[in-house]
Amino acid sequence: MADKILMKGNEALAEAAIMAGCRHYFGYPITPQTEVAAYMAKRMPKIGGCFLQAESEIAAINMCIGAAAAGKRAMTSSSSPGISLKSEGISYMAGCDLPALIVNVQRGGPGLGGIQPSQSDYFQATRGGGHGDYHLLVLAPSSVQEMADLVSKGFDLAEKYRMPCMLLADGTMGQMMEPVELREREEAPADKPWALTGTENKRKPNIINSLALEPQELEKWNEERFKRYDIVRENEQMSQSYRMEDAEICVVAFGIAARVSQNAVDMARAKGIKAGMIRPITLWPFPEKALKAAAGQCKAFVSVELNMGQMIEDVKLSIECSRPVSLCCRTGGMIPSPDEVLAAVERAAEGGK
Amino acid sequence: MIVFEKPKALTDAPLHYCPGCTHGIIHRLVAEAIDSLDIAGKTIGVASVGCSVFAYNYFNVDMVQAAHGRAPAVATGVKRADPSKIVFTYQGDGDLASIGTAETVHAAARGENITVIFVNNAIYGMTGGQMAPTSLPGQVTQTSPYGRDVNTVGYPVRICELLATLDGTGYVERVAVNNVKNVRNAKKAIEKAFRRQTEGKGFSLIEVLSTCPTNWGKTPEGATEWLEQNMIPYYPLGVYKDKYAEEAAK
């Protein structure tokens, strides 16, 4: 077992990517994720990898497309406004069935917004973000340890299902320091017979493409992709339950909001309120099975988010609106305090909103 | 004795280009260069958005299709993934000189070891004949119906001249395919650009002045005449930068 070391979330994530076999990173500076690029700039040349600072986020994601098309584990990272720019490339990646890891260390928006932590790109991440019918795998770390662990998981899932994966962190996760244990990857890299490696005059050319002018063909491609999404929905939902055994009030929160909410759950328990928490780790596929099961025992749900209420829609859909769902939120870079979450839990326990 | 045959680097797929369009000639020249250097097995092409979007069906090599203007960035990723591969993009003027200007300029500035085939026909062809960044002053298009007015929409972009100012650029030349002599020169330039890449000599771009009879509203013959009389004076042919020849001469 490796020793624990104290690391910033962004740097733990970067080192974890290298340990997961990523040797191609394309970035562009933006707060609060710039440490990822700085770390890669230091490390990649020493291990024979490629760090390239692109001329724009648009170019960075397209470089990722190129390296992924050539069969490499490629990664890019950015923060909210930069992810908007990458959205074109992300849509192409999805349309080309290319695996890659895209990191979004979210900050407040819309527009230039601010540089403080946020979860306001939830819709953008879980609904696709760019144009067309598609999904990303979306993973939400809530500790520096998970910033590292979910990188390797993300690459593995992306390659298994041939789809881009987004690691949806926030400014807090990126900037805070915690002890972390970095682990060598276990799974062997996926076989990629579709990759562009040159025909060597031995096989027919491989073509990576998202264009189909015949509507019947494009419909077929999309339907096949969604069959794959169904398998992902069935097999890859991940969440963590906290004090849910006898919970009557279920808090739903991810990322930094889950850290705050965990304290609020303990405070509520101390006051005699049977509160628990479900923390989604995959935001897409959303852990609807866990939520649905919780609806059988809980009388109310509280969605805690760093935005004006986005995940709450998935909570309601998962439990098919069978229980009241209230929202506890701060936005613009503000983080709800444990007291604020506690007050929301108390209101829910009293049957109010 | 075989004196003429289809290049091996072209597939058997029938080209979809309009009658008289010179994309077919340029495809052939690229394929001949690949054949002559015997690099098809390690070549990866990047198709762009525009009339040549289906290039991935025509070149008998591994291909990826890029978003509009992004081909040099995609090519950068492919090349960095495995520098032993030969990577080229095939782009039109709207793709390369308008929406993809940043990607073009910065791939050149980095000295990215790729080859860019830039087909300039002074118009957006696939969308039906709109004004391009390279449309000539006074040129009538669907979106400049009274002729390109430089006082309101500005001037054409001369890519070779622009890229020649960058230290990272290895080799840029402008050629044309309007007559046999120019086609032969174009063939030499394209082959040289690919050879430079095999030697690790950085970014090369060949601008090929091309015709668009359909959207220019001309016969194929009239289009080659229009190219000669209007495009070549504005876009003079020749080598704009050849870093290694310059260094060798020193």
Q: What is the residue-wise DSSP string for A108-120?
A: --STT--SSB--T
Say which residues have a Cβ less than 8 Å from residue A198's Cβ, sequence separation at least 6.
B41, B42, B43, B44, B61, B62, B85
pLDDT one-digit tens code per residue, B21-74: 999 999 999 999 999 999 999 999 999 999 999 999 999 999 999 999 999 999
Cα separation, B25 vs B187, in Å, equals: 10
pLDDT one-digit tens code per residue, A175-208: 999 999 998 876 677 899 999 999 999 999 999 9
Percent of chain A with pLDDT over 70: 98
pLDDT at A8 over 90: yes
CA-based nearest residue to A121, from A111, A100, A107: A107
DSSP state of A206: P
Q: Which residue has the higher pLDDT, A93 or A352?
A: A93
Neighboring chain B residues of A54 at a CB cutoff of 8 Å: 73, 106
For chain B, domain boundaries: 23-249
Cα separation, B243 vs B49, in Å, equals: 30
Cα separation, B206 vs B108, in Å, equals: 12
For chain A, domain boundaries: 4-195+224-235, 240-349
pLDDT at B198 over 90: yes
Q: Vertex A184, ends A178 and A189: CA angle to 5°? A: 130
Cα separation, B173 vs A85, in Å, equals: 33
User: Quick one: pLDDT at residue A1?
Assistant: 54
With beta carbons less than 8 A apart as the criterion, state whether B194 and B99 touch.
Answer: no
For testing contact with chain A, the best of B43, B48, B64, B105 (most A CBs within 10 A)? B64
User: Quick one: pLDDT at residue B220?
Assistant: 96
Cβ pair A208:B65 closer than 8 A: yes
Cα separation, A336 vs B200, in Å, equals: 55
**Token code pair at residue B116:** 């860019």
For testing contact with chain B, the best of A28, A65, A73, A214 (most B CBs within 10 A)? A65
Cα separation, A79 vs A62, in Å, equals: 17
User: Quick one: pLDDT at residue A190?
Assistant: 80
User: Quick one: pLDDT at residue B181?
Assistant: 98
User: Quick one: pLDDT at residue A186?
Assistant: 67
pLDDT at B214 over 70: yes
Q: What average pLDDT is seen over chain B? A: 97
User: Quick one: pLDDT at residue B65?
Assistant: 97
Give the ipTM. Answer: 0.96
Q: How many Å lie between the alpha carbon of A210 and the closest alpha carbon of chain B?
A: 7
pLDDT one-digit tens code per residue, A314-325: 999 999 999 999
| DSSP element (H, E) containing B72 | helix B71-81
With beta carbons less than 8 A apart as the criterion, state whether B230 and B157 touch.
Answer: no
With beta carbons less than 8 A apart as the criterion, state whether B203 and B169 touch.
Answer: yes
pLDDT at A353 over 80: no
B9 has a chain A CB within 8 A of its CB: no
pLDDT one-digit tens code per residue, A82-137: 999 999 999 999 999 999 999 999 999 999 999 999 999 999 999 989 999 999 99
Average pLDDT over residues A287-313: 98
Q: Which CATH code is given to the segment(s) A240-349?
A: 3.40.50.920
Indicate the class that CATH gives domain B23-249: alpha beta
Cβ pair A89:B85 closer than 8 A: no
- First CA to last CA distance, chain A: 47
Query: HSE-up of A154 (CA within 13 Å, CB side)?
Result: 35
**Token code pair at residue B162:** 């622009």
Question: Is there a common fold for A4-195+224-235 and A240-349?
Answer: yes
Cβ pair B106:A59 closer than 8 A: yes
User: Quick one: pLDDT at residue B246?
Assistant: 81
Q: Which residues of B1-12 are buried (b: 16+ CB within 10 A; e: fewer)?
A: eeeeeebebbbe
CATH superfamily of A4-195+224-235: Thiamin diphosphate (ThDP)-binding fold, Pyr/PP domains (3.40.50.970)
Say which residues have a Cβ less than 8 Å from residue A86's Cβ, sequence separation at least 6.
A57, A58, A60, A61, A76, A78, A102
User: Quick one: pLDDT at residue B1?
Assistant: 84
Average pLDDT over residues A142-158: 97
Interface of A with B (CB under 8 A): 24, 26, 50, 52, 54-56, 58-60, 62-72, 74, 88-89, 92, 96, 196-202, 205-211
pLDDT at A153 over 90: yes
Q: Determine the angle formed by the axes of helices A255-270 and A338-349, rounding to 10 degrees.
A: 60
Q: Determine the angle formed by the axes of helices A311-318 and A288-295, rounding to 10 degrees.
A: 60
Cα separation, B93 vs B77, in Å, equals: 22
A293, A298, A300, A303 alpha-carbon torsion, rounded to 10°: -50
Cβ count near B102 (within 10 Å): 17
Closest partner CB to B61 (pick from A54, A60, A205): A205
Bin A134: left if φ > 0, else alpha if -120 < ψ < 50, else beta.
Answer: beta
Q: Vertex A92, ends A88 and A97: CA angle to 5°? A: 150
B42 has a chain A CB within 8 A of its CB: yes
